[in-house]
Structure formats: structure tokens, C-alpha cells
Amino acid sequence: MFLGSWRELLEQVVSGDWRTVQLMQLRSNKIHTSGLTLMELVVVVGILAFMAGLVAYNITPSQMTFGGAAGNKTAGRIATEATMSRVKSAIFGSADSPGYWQDMNRDMWYYPMHLEWLSRAPTERLADGATDQELAYISAMMSYSPSRRVGWRGPYVQFQGDIIPLDPARGFTTRLGGGAYRSPIDAWGNPVVMQLPTEIRGTNIVDYGDARGDADMAVFIASNSRLVSAGPDGILQTQLNIESLQTFEAFQTNALLAGDDIVIWLQH
């Protein structure tokens, strides 16, 4: 169609029929500037929307990846890291306010071995076998004292998760509070847990309460505690391989043993 028109135009130019040339130019301009009709535009938009729907149907939020500052992290990982960062701030405080650990006077008796402690005041479970002096101390910590700037003023985090499922095959063990405590949930519906080292100086840690009278042990536990999500596969590899992943330094050397777990260290 257009080839014939241009051939005719060329013939008219050669023959000197300028009036015919002007008319053909106007017709050509009309053809090229008319663009898509409204109906054609609607069809194109419909096709694009349909294709976008197919892509969205087959990609879950946890599979989506992002560029820029987030790198190639999935949406699930980004959301989980954000949750864990909020929990870390609730424990150790932020630029805006002190957290649970500061309010508890950094006393190892109240170290949040179970994250549910952030959502309620220390319970009588901590007072088992305590002396009268210790019971008085615990009672004094039940509410915040503005003058001493210590004491409970939570909840620091409101958890809506389920009780941690006791599934040792996936790494959720009683050591992590399985079957007894609530916890924040990661993007895949599994609980985020607090992990503490199980040994110090080559000796197993039997009672974390011992750290109250052992400054070195207290620093060691606090420095090598971490928040862990089991990641997309739902298996806590860091718990299954805890013997090889005791400390921050050991983790740096054996990071592959953590699998797809998401780990945030509390003191690093």
C-alpha cells in the first residue's frame, strides 16, 4: 500500500505535477498520524494485563527479587529481616528509646532467652528457688522506676504468633522454648527464635543463670546470641549444626552450615 503510494509520488515529482504531490503528502501524513484507534488500544492494554496476571499468579511474594539497595534478596527475606531488626531494637533499644535489656539493668537473670519475655513482665517462673532478697529484687523490677531508670515498662513487642512447634527434625527443640513460648513469625510462617551458645571455654553451659555471677560468661552469651529464622525451607540449620556454629567467629568460618537460615547477631 505504502510502496505504491511512494512510487506514484515519485512519478508525479518527475513529471512536475506538484499539486498532485501536495495532495498525496497530505494523505500520507493523515495515515501516519492517525495512530491506534481506541479499540486497538483497549485490546493491547487487555493483552498486557492478562500477561501480567499470569506472571503474578506464578510468583509468590517470597519469590520476588529486588534490585538496588536490597540487592537480589527476596521479598520474604526482606520482610523477615525487617521483623528481626525490630525485635533486636526492642531488646537493646534504638536511637529513640532504650529497650528491654537496658530497662532490666542488663541483668543476666532477665536475659531474653525466650522472645516472649519481651511481651510480658518477667514471670514467677524466674523466681523458682529464689531467696527472699531475690524475690524482693524481682518484685522491684515489675514496674519502671523513673528515679533509677530501671524496671519493666513493656510490652516491648506484641507477638501474635503461635507457640513454637516442637519439631526436632527441623531444628525446633526444647532448648529454644519449643512447645512453651510464643515468638514473632517469619515470612514463611515459622517462628523466629533466640539462639544462645551451648558451651563456653569448652564447657557446656548448664544454667544460664550462672552468668549472673560470671562477667566473662555474661559477655560471652550476650555477644554470641542471635535471632534466627529457618528461612524458606523451614529447617533451622543453625540449630542442627549448633556445635560448629557456637560463636560469631565460628559462624563467619562455617556460614554454609547455616543453609538458608536468616541470622541477625545481637551484639554485632
pLDDT in tens, the chain (268 residues): 444 554 554 454 445 454 444 544 545 554 444 556 777 676 666 767 656 555 444 445 544 544 455 556 888 999 999 999 999 999 988 877 789 999 998 888 888 888 888 888 776 556 566 778 878 888 888 888 888 889 998 889 887 777 898 999 999 999 898 888 888 999 999 999 999 998 887 788 877 778 888 888 888 998 999 999 999 999 999 999 999 999 999 999 999 999 999 999 998 6
User: What is the spatial distance between Cα 121 and Cα 169, in angstroms, rounded to a whole number?
Assistant: 32
Q: Find where cell 479499540 sits.
A: 39
pLDDT of residue 49: 67
pLDDT of residue 5: 52
Cβ distance 178 to 131 under 8 Å? no
Gyration radius of the chain's alpha carbons? 32
User: What is the spatial distance between Cα 61 and Cα 75, in angstroms, rounded to a whole number?
Assistant: 6
User: What is the spatial distance between Cα 136 and Cα 20, in angstroms, rounded to a whole number?
Assistant: 107
In this structure, the number of other CB atoms found within 10 A of the CB of residue 104 comes to: 21
User: What is the spatial distance between Cα 249 and Cα 50, in angstroms, rounded to a whole number?
Assistant: 50
| Distance (Å) of CA 82 to CA 137, 184, 192 | 35, 11, 12
pLDDT of residue 162: 76
Burial 168-192 (b: 16+ CB within 10 A, else e): eebbbbeebbbeebbbbbbbbebbb
Domain spans of the chain? Answer: 2-55, 75-265
What residue ranges in the chain does DSSP mark as E strands? 193-195, 199-200, 203-204, 226-229, 262-265
User: What is the spatial distance between Cα 175 and Cα 162, in angstroms, rounded to a whole number?
Assistant: 17
Please give the backbone phi and psi of residue 191, each rounded to the nearest 5 degrees, phi first. -70, 140
Cβ distance 124 to 134 under 8 Å? no
pLDDT of residue 185: 92
User: What is the spatial distance between Cα 167 and Cα 174, in angstroms, rounded to a whole number?
Assistant: 9
User: What is the spatial distance between Cα 63 and Cα 72, in angstroms, rounded to a whole number?
Assistant: 10
pLDDT of residue 120: 82
Would you call 185 helix, strand, or coil by DSSP? strand
pLDDT of residue 200: 85
